Structure 1
């Protein structure tokens, strides 16, 4: 279109331009969105509710959606963060969210998590930027331990009994008694 500048991106594989499948054309005034704003979290033992505001800059496009990245982290050390895995569930979904809120369930109690919210649009995959995300680090609350198993009577007398059992599978924090 006359009077509009366009970006053309080409992908190269082994020094050869794949213009058929690799080229992308979009107007120069379009780009990826900025990061979402005002991320807040509400945490309990095994779930987190996240809510945020739309990005200030949409990249000149209306097709904004959001992707959620969940990382389970070591105590105070972000380098020990690992993806949460398939056991964590997202409502309504993890990727392609059209709303600015998500509930994340089936987390472990008494655990550090970092959540990233990425704002994306139709040109984000061609020009990704770390400025498209906002993050929050939370610690889920302690919860009651899971049930104990294999309770055994060790010493039985006429007036007393000594019991023994295995630790619970999920202590969910520090067991005090």
Structure 2
């Protein structure tokens, strides 16, 4: 019930998850979590990183503009904390079919970020799908005690995993009928 994928190329995993989430919601699945949308606004600067919170219309910026020549981390920890709080609250007050987290990254490897939300979902038997960079795979596997499943990073493989994992959950339209 916990799967991850490793996509090659900057932002490739973000695009795959964004498209996947839209496909799943169009099929009537109730999603919770966050997918990242990278907003390019100036070719000479790094993109803005926004998290679209699934199951709502909220968007939270998680990047700081540190200037044209800045190097290093530009994660806005306050923005990330806000997104995590909103996702954890949604998990407490709803029963989604699936939790999607944009990535299991440095923050999660260090015990922060969406790590608690992932654990909360797994404890409630809600399937979880996340992206992961190769450098964070060991941290993800340690967190999951080796129980996470790696899925090929193709849209079809990810869709197939989601549909198979959530097969016992009827689409929203059928649940409301």
Shared fold per TM-score greater than 0.5: no
Highest Rg: 1 or 2? 1
**TM-score, L = length of structure 2:** 0.22
Higher relative contact order (CA 8 A, sep 6+): 2
Which of the two has greater strand per residue?
1
**TM-score, L = length of structure 1:** 0.22
